[in-house]
């Protein structure tokens, strides 16, 4: 059943007592499939974070059960996430640990307990954040800076996990690790590298495999990786310490390349570790407290909002309640030795794809994890670390995929600048400085674009009642990411509290940035689900900084292309149909007479009856028209074409209309 059909079904699933039994079949099945995906990721994220392997399992189990009881987010999966690896391992290293490198030593244990205390303090801040209904603060950060931070996290994960996938011990800063990748390849343990490379090949090729082999579409690639890696590990006899010689080099194999798990059934409970709260007396601890709190809360809110947009029933998460639930679960997790958790978007998307109906699917995935790890620890010990590292390299590649750069560029060149600066500074320093650099650059760009300083944090809005059900709001000065929170609060007060439709007039705003354009679009959808309407007017008086629908806009005339074509009179209708079909919203035709180059060269100045056709179109439509002229008209007819860049007062008059494009081949006049 499609999302549209589900939405139209009328029966909106709710995660209450009745929903638990009513939708158990769907939620139980989805929970099982999510468990299959979550198990290797929890193990891999734990090890990559410098925590013991059981830490991620504790987090997923506690998050699944606790947040199900508190949050109203119906389809999100709570658990450890790759996006927090960089912070977690940074905290461990700052307190003197190095995680799985050279084994888990006493120094690693001390650093681990320090990180748990940091996690407890951050969780308390999250709880206060939820209690005082401050969830909206997640709306502050500009999107380009957030995506730049996530891309940097992806690159850092790749840099740190490539050595593990190759069977090499390595440590250092991200840029150092990236620079030494050729060295790690030359020093790789061939047997371990085989496991890592085969795992990567499966993960990257799986999308094409599932397209060609339909029965495999429902199988998570992580499970295929685990099965193949365990078989390879068994064939290489990794359970026993031994060596082998290849091309004159001697290499070691043994249990150090396998996941370290408790030996006995229920042995997981012996892994419970208490925090060392004495470290909170040190100033450096509070840097990590703030980073866990800020980045974790921000990622969780963004993920929950993203999953809400994918919910077939368009249910909305109460972000304050969700942050409260995540905070309480993080507190419980850190108190027993778990990693920090967020609403995790990849597992949540899998939850939706596998037919989950309510939040109990999250709970069931935690129950399956608990049963598996408690009763089958010896089986999990067979998993090679290289396979888990390969999964994280794949996850990192998705965070820092080249398409992310392309997508940001299409939103505007200034967005790409913010994205790249955030990414580079994060790689060179840390997450806080990186996202701070991105925000600072955003402010600088806004100043250049004429945003008044006094409007950076204050929304200047005037309201006027149009009728009983509609309020006009005029935005003045600017509408930018830093004043979006008071901006949004006033929109919500009028729309959701007073139950009014809103007409938002932005014609007097000097700048509407990309972040606000995106959030206004999101709010239009939110109000639509409430039976209300948000209409945005006045954009025609602004010039978009890119062709993207949600690009930033500055007040002033927009740049367009004017295409002028001179051709024989009988071609008029063919040109009209072609131009309209390609996106032109109008044209001007003038009868004219004249001589071309051929007539002048032949000293024949006899003039013929011609037409002059002009269209004003956006740049992308102009490119299509030029292609049409070169391929379809100029090879067969005498045609002269000229293109000019011009500025127009009302840009919206020239934007393509889908209904005209649809009918373009049959139109003769507009």
What pLDDT is recorded for position 628?
94
Residue-wise burial string across 580-601, b where 16 or more C-beta atoms lie within 10 A, e elsewhere = bbbbbbebeeeeeeeeeeeeee
Whole-number Å distance between alpha carbons of 128 and 123: 9
What pLDDT is recorded for position 548?
84
Greater pLDDT, 101 or 386: 386
Say whether pLDDT at 670 is over 50: no
Mean pLDDT of 620-635: 93
Q: Are 534 and 491 in contact (CB under 8 A)?
A: yes
Model confidence pLDDT, tens digit, residues 455-488: 999 999 999 999 989 999 999 999 999 999 999 9
Q: Are 460 and 472 in contact (CB under 8 A)?
A: no
Whole-number Å distance between alpha carbons of 342 and 211: 31
Whole-number Å distance between alpha carbons of 174 and 159: 6
Counts of helices then strands in the chain (DSSP H, E): 26, 14
Which segments of 371-526 are extended strands (E)?
Answer: 460-467, 470-479, 501-512
Q: In sequence order, which residues have a C-beta less than 8 Å from that of residue 380 and are 6 or more positions away?
A: 39, 43, 259, 261, 372, 373
Whole-number Å distance between alpha carbons of 311 and 76: 10
Whole-number Å distance between alpha carbons of 203 and 226: 11
What pLDDT is recorded for position 306?
83
| DSSP per-residue string spanning 105-129 | -HHHHHHHHHHHHHHHHHHHHHHHH
Tokens of 188: 């790789």
The DSSP call for residue 132 is T
**650-653 long-range contacts, Cβ below 8 Å, gap at least 24?**
650/540, 650/541, 651/539, 651/540, 651/542, 651/543, 651/544, 651/557, 651/558, 651/560, 652/539, 652/540, 653/540, 653/585, 653/586
Say whether pLDDT at 645 is over 70: yes
The DSSP call for residue 213 is -
Whole-number Å distance between alpha carbons of 539 and 544: 9
The DSSP call for residue 640 is E
What pLDDT is recorded for position 5?
43
Whole-number Å distance between alpha carbons of 84 and 92: 12
Domain covering 453-554 assigned CATH 3.40.366.10 in the classification: no
What pLDDT is recorded for position 663?
47
What pLDDT is recorded for position 158?
94
Model confidence pLDDT, tens digit, residues 153-199: 999 999 999 999 999 988 888 899 999 999 999 999 999 999 999 99
Whole-number Å distance between alpha carbons of 374 and 370: 6
Most confident segment among 276-285, 579-588, 642-651: 276-285
Tokens of 270: 């012996």
Q: Are 442 and 142 in contact (CB under 8 A)?
A: yes
**54-58 long-range contacts, Cβ below 8 Å, gap at least 24?**
54/261, 54/262, 54/268, 54/271, 54/337, 54/373, 55/80, 55/112, 55/337, 55/338, 55/339, 56/80, 56/338, 56/339, 57/268, 57/369, 57/373, 58/271, 58/272, 58/333, 58/336, 58/337, 58/338, 58/339
- Start-end of H helices in 449-596: 484-492, 514-529, 572-581
In angstroms and rounded to an integer, the radius of gyration of the C-alpha atoms of the chain is: 30
What pLDDT is recorded for position 237?
95
Task: Tell me which CATH code domain 558-666 carries.
Answer: 3.30.70.120
Give percent of the chain with pLDDT exceeding 70: 95
Quote the distance between the C-alpha of residue 491 and its chain's center.
26
Where do we find the tokens 């690693």?
108
Whole-number Å distance between alpha carbons of 500 and 624: 42
CA angle, residues 374, 362, 36, in degrees to nearest 5? 55
β-pair type (470-479, 501-512): parallel
Q: Are 206 and 224 in contact (CB under 8 A)?
A: yes
Model confidence pLDDT, tens digit, residues 501-531: 999 999 889 999 999 999 999 899 889 888 9
Q: How much is the pTM?
A: 0.80
Model confidence pLDDT, tens digit, residues 366-413: 999 999 998 888 889 999 999 999 999 999 999 999 999 999 999 899
What pLDDT is recorded for position 61?
96
Where do we find the tokens 């997508």?
407
Q: Are 24 and 360 in contact (CB under 8 A)?
A: yes
Whole-number Å distance between alpha carbons of 575 and 313: 46
Average pLDDT, whole number, for the chain? 89
**Alpha-carbon distances of 23 from 15, 17, 72, 133, 218, rounded to whole Å:** 9, 10, 16, 31, 20
Domain ranges of the chain: 3-399, 405-444, 453-554, 558-666
What pLDDT is recorded for position 656?
81
The DSSP call for residue 79 is E
What pLDDT is recorded for position 668?
38
Least confident window among 67-81, 417-431, 606-620, 653-667: 653-667
Say whether pLDDT at 602 is over 90: no
**Alpha-carbon distances of 334 from 62, 118, 222, 324, rounded to whole Å:** 10, 8, 27, 15
The two most distant CA atoms of the chain are separated, in Å, by 102
Whole-number Å distance between alpha carbons of 205 and 311: 28
Give the number of other CB atoms < 10 A from CB of residue 234. Answer: 12
């Amino acid at each position: 059943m499609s999302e549209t059909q589900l939405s139209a079904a009328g029966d909106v699933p709710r995660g209450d007592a009745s929903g638990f039994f009513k939708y158990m079949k769907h939620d139980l099945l989805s929970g099982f499939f999510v468990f299959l995906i979550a198990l290797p990721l929890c193990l891999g994220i734990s090890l990559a974070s410098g925590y013991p392997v059981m830490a991620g399992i504790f987090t997923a189990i506690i998050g699944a059960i606790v947040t199900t009881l508190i949050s109203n987010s119906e389809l999100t999966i709570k658990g450890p996430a790759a996006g927090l690896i960089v912070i977690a391992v940074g905290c461990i290293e700052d307190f003197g640990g190095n995680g799985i490198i050279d084994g888990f030593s006493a120094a690693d244990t001390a650093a681990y307990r320090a990180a748990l205390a940091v996690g407890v303090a951050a969780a308390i801040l999250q709880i206060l954040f939820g209690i005082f209904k401050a969830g909206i603060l997640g709306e502050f950060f500009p999107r380009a800076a957030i995506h730049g931070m996530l891309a940097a996290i992806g690159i850092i994960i790749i840099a740190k996990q490539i050595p593990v996938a190759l069977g090499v011990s390595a440590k250092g800063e991200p840029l150092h690790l990236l620079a030494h990748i050729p060295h790690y390849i030359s020093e790789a343990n061939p047997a371990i590298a085989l496991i890592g490379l085969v795992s990567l090949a499966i993960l990257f090729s799986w999308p094409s495999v599932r397209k060609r082999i339909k029965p495999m579409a429902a199988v998570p690639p992580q499970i295929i990786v685990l099965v193949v890696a365990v078989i390879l590990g068994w064939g290489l006899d990794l359970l026993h310490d031994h060596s082998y010689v290849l091309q004159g080099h001697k290499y070691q194999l043994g249990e150090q390349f396998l996941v370290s798990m408790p030996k006995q059934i229920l042995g997981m409970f012996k892994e419970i570790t208490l925090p060392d709260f004495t470290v909170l007396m040190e100033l450096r601890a509070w840097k990590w407290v703030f980073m866990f709190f800020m980045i974790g809360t921000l990622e969780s809110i963004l993920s929950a909002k993203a999953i809400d947009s994918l919910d077939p029933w368009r249910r909305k998460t109460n972000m304050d309640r969700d942050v409260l639930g995540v905070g309480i679960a993080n507190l419980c997790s850190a108190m027993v030795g778990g990693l920090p958790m967020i609403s995790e978007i990849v597992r949540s998307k899998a939850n939706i794809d596998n037919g989950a109906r309510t939040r109990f699917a999250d709970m069931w995935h935690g129950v399956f994890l608990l049963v598996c790890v408690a009763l089958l620890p010896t089986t999990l010990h067979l998993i090679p670390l290289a396979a888990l590292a390969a999964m994280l390299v794949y996850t990192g590649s998705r965070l820092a995929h080249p398409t992310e750069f392309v997508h940001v560029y299409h939103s505007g060149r200034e967005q790409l600048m913010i994205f790249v600066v955030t990414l580079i500074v994060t790689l060179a320093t840390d997450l806080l400085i990186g996202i701070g650099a991105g925000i600072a650059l955003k402010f600088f760009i806004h100043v250049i674009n004429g945003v008044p300083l006094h409007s950076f944090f204050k929304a200047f809005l005037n309201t006027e009642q149009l009728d009983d059900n509609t309020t006009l709001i005029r935005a003045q000065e600017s509408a930018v990411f830093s004043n979006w929170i008071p901006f949004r609060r006033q929109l919500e007060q009028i729309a959701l509290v007073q139950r009014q439709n809103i007409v938002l007039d932005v014609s007097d705003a000097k700048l509407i940035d990309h972040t606000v354009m995106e959030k206004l679009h999101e709010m239009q959808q939110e109000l639509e689900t409430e039976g209300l309407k948000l209409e945005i007017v006045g954009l025609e008086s602004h010039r978009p900084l890119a062709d993207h629908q949600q690009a930033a806009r500055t007040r002033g005339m927009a740049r367009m292309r004017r295409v002028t074509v001179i051709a024989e009179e009988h071609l008029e209708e063919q040109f009209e149909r072609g131009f309209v079909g390609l996106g032109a919203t109008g044209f001007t035709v003038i009868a004219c007479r004249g001589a071309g180059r051929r007539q002048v060269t032949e000293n024949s100045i006899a003039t013929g009856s011609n037409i002059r056709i002009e269209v004003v179109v956006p740049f992308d439509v102009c490119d299509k028209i030029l292609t049409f002229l070169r391929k379809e008209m100029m090879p067969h007819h005498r045609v002269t074409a000229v293109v000019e860049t011009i500025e127009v007062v009302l840009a919206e008059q020239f934007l393509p209309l889908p209904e005209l494009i649809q009918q373009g081949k049959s139109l003769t006049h507009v």
